[in-house]
């Protein structure tokens, strides 16, 4: 399924479920007194697009890492959800070192759910890229036979997060984000949120170092709907649109400190569809998500990054060990928001 078809499906689901949301009520079951562990596998490996030139003379280079599948492990307790993600080298699609070079990927995220807020923080470290669109530069290049141009010292470090607020108190965002709650009756909600990100791109080519720092901030509005089927299954689509800004500083040679600054207006669209099965102990499900990100560069509308990816998860809940409960209670006395 292409990105355009996926967007159409999510838009259709969005309007269908939004119409249902007007008369539905909800009843939420909380699992905050339980520890939940989850294992996830997904294909959400981002690529980065760099543009040079303008109009018909513009050239785009798409840089990707030699990791097509990502695994992650999550632990949830009370209002805290922590996730560590990485790309195991033994999985097929993550180890084509001969043609694409070696890559490393680590991602840590922390999500908090104080009252109706959703606070997300993350750190991502990626190193080792290859030029994905080789045929744009070498028409005779053959996929699967010829090696890609590799950039082993190309590294991206990202620090960021988002702050969201759920407008409908009868809607459980936690049941969709982390499965920390279960919504017994269907309901939906508008969710405004801010997203912010600092990314540092560094590279070394023939001994010459380059560095680019990007700051991104955006204001978004999304609509989430949780359609409950029976007592254990739910289907949850969402759609969000946003507008923001991107500010970048580029040093081509760190030795002479020559810097190029740029500012852009950004447009963002993302959506997804989550299907889950839940019991008090076991849970599993899948998600399909898309995202499209564009920016205005000197009156030319340029798509910088878009992707469509899937995720599968399985989880288990259990009573917290005494040491976990006692430690959390002590911290909560000092930090009441927890």
Closest C-alpha to 24, from 226, 240, 221: 226
Which two structure tokens, joined as six digits, stand for 1?
């399924």
Domain ranges, ordered by start, for the chain: 3-334
Distance CA 171, CA 189 (A): 6
Tell me what pLDDT residue 277 has: 96
pTM of the model: 0.83
Which two structure tokens, joined as six digits, stand for 177?
């984000």
Tell me what pLDDT residue 189 has: 96
Distance CA 51, CA 284 (A): 40
For 205-240, the pLDDT digits (tens) are: 888 888 889 999 999 999 999 999 988 999 999 999
Tell me what pLDDT residue 279 has: 96
Cβ atoms 85, 110 nearer than 8 A: no
Closest C-alpha to 73, from 117, 40, 27: 40
Q: Show the low-confidence residues of the chain (pLDDT under 50).
A: 14, 17-26, 299-301, 303
> Which distant-in-sequence residues (6+ apart) come within 8 Å of 94 by Cβ?
66, 67, 68, 69, 87, 88, 103
Q: What angle do CA 74, 219, 71 make, to 5 degrees?
A: 20
CATH fold, domain 3-334, is Lipocalin (2.40.128)
3-class SS of residue 88: coil
Residue 80 vs residues 61, 91, 156: alpha-carbon distances, Å: 39, 30, 27
């Amino acid at each position: 399924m292409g990105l355009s078809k996926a967007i159409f499906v999510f838009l259709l689901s969005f309007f269908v479920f939004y119409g249902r949301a007007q008369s539905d009520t909800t009843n939420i079951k909380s699992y905050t007194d339980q520890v939940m562990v989850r294992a996830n596998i997904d294909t959400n490996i981002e690529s980065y697009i760099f543009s040079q030139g303008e109009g018909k003379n513009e050239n785009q280079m798409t840089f990707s890492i030699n990791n097509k599948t990502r695994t992650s492990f999550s632990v949830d307790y009370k209002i805290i959800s922590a996730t560590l993600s990485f790309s195991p080298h033994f999985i097929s699609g993550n180890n084509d070192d001969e043609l694409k070079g070696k890559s490393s990927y680590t991602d840590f995220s922390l999500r908090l759910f104080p009252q109706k807020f959703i606070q997300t923080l993350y750190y991502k470290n990626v190193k080792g890229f290859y030029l994905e669109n080789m045929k744009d530069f070498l028409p005779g290049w053959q996929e699967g036979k010829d090696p890609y141009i590799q950039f082993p010292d190309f590294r991206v470090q990202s620090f960021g997060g988002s702050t969201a607020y759920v407008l409908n108190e009868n809607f459980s965002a936690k049941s969709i984000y982390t499965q920390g709650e279960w919504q017994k009756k269907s309901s939906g909600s508008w969710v405004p949120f801010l997203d912010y990100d600092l990314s540092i791109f560094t590279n070394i080519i023939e001994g010459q170092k380059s560095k680019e720092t990007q700051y991104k901030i955006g204001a978004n509005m999304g609509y989430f709907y949780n359609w409950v089927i029976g007592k254990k299954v739910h289907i949850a689509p969402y759609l969000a649109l946003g507008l923001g800004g991107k500010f970048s500083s580029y040093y081509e040679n760190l030795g002479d400190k020559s810097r190029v600054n740029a500012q852009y207006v950004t447009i963002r669209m993302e959506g997804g569809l989550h299907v889950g099965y839940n019991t008090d102990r076991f849970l599993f499900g899948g998600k399909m998500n898309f995202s499209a990100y564009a920016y205005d560069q000197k009156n030319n509308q340029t798509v910088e990054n878009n992707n469509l990816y899937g995720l599968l998860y399985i989880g288990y809940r259990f009573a917290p060990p005494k040491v976990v409960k006692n430690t959390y209670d002590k911290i909560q006395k000092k930090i009441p928001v927890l």
